Amino acid sequence: MTERFKNAKFLSLAASRFESADIYILGGGTQFFSFEKSQREISTISRYKLYFNLLLKEPSLLVSFFASKAKKKKEIRLKLALGIGLGPFDSKKVETEIKNEVALYDHIYCRDNISLQYLEKWDLSNRSFGADLCLTDFFKKKYHLKHKITDNDNLKLGVVLRDWPHNDVGEIINNKIFNWLPEQKDFERNLFMFSESKDDALIQRVNKRSDLGIKKLIVWHPLKYEFEKFYGYLNECDILITSRYHAAIFALNLGIPTICLGIDPKLKALCDEVKGFYYWDPKEDIQALDTYIREIKDKYSLHQENIEVSYNNLNNRANAMVDNVLNVLRNFE
């Protein structure tokens, strides 16, 4: 983007609130949602901790906040949402509020079927069906790893878990996985977390458990090491089990057979689009994972071939989305 548009600036969502621009692009991720336990219901202490961590990660926010008070904000002339996810929504009121907010965008490129269904339900014509931004050629060229299995008899298992404050589903999943992991003695097991701050309570819990049988707990922290290194650790796994959506997206890029743990609907939507991925509902018996792993192990190459076909379909959709946006920007006056 910066190569083609020299005055483009990449900002965090928080920082973007204090900046002025002619064109605003909201990029990627599940940007609009509400669960049973919304942000408003999180304790005051937790909220202040969140703000503190935000300032620690991005100290310039404070400067931007005060600077924005001293200048008039420019009116946005073009507003795009690129590769975003929508939902779920825990009430009709919240859904209506989000619908009205999304309607203000000139165009919305959603990434999955669930998001598309919301846009169709809301009868918003300013929509296109895209895919996750991490499935574009831009991402692939920058991080061009591809998984190759080394020993089919000694598979390496990677498990990606997360803290989940929105409802009790996360706790159910984590408890079941913690009971299941010690039994998986046939595999080298590594546990991954994507956020040192947001997954802090879960990390502490893991560190107190010496019986899990994991070789390493790998926590991504952008200030401690580069994303490429973390991505490389994921690529060392032969099978991934994840409740993190983007761990599944990375596995799709890498060609790693994956079992998605049903912490929220977007993981089911992804599994519906990727042949070679499995979806586990938290209401199911945890032993279903053993069946999925056996199936993957017995036909590993076939799973990788199916994943590649699914990746190509989603990659084409992601590239078309980006090309469309670039054309819009070129023609914008």
292 pLDDT more than 90: yes
Please name which of 139, 104, 144 lies closest in space to residue 124, comparing C-alpha atoms.
104
- pTM, two decimals, is 0.88
Using one digit for the tens of pLDDT, what is the confidence trace for 218-228? 999 877 778 99
Using one digit for the tens of pLDDT, what is the confidence trace for 20-42? 788 999 988 877 887 765 444 44
Domains in the chain (CATH in brackets) are 13-130 (no CATH), 141-312 (3.40.50.2000)
AA identity, residue 77: R
Distances from the Cα of 137 to the Cαs of 134, 182, 248, in angstroms?
8, 39, 17
Using one digit for the tens of pLDDT, what is the confidence trace for 107-118? 999 999 999 999
Strand locations in the chain (E): 23-32, 78-86, 107-110, 127-129, 156-160, 188-193, 214-219, 239-242, 258-261, 277-280
Who wins on pLDDT, 255 or 167? 255
State the number of CA atoms in the 13 A half-sphere of 161 facing the CB.
Answer: 24
71 pLDDT more than 90: no
Q: Please give the Cα distance from 290 to 2 (Å, whole number).
A: 46
Using one digit for the tens of pLDDT, what is the confidence trace for 219-274? 998 777 789 999 999 999 999 999 999 999 999 999 999 999 999 999 999 999 99
Q: Exposed, middle or buried: residue 291 (CB in 10 Å: 0-12, 13-18, 19+)?
A: exposed
SS3 at position 299: coil
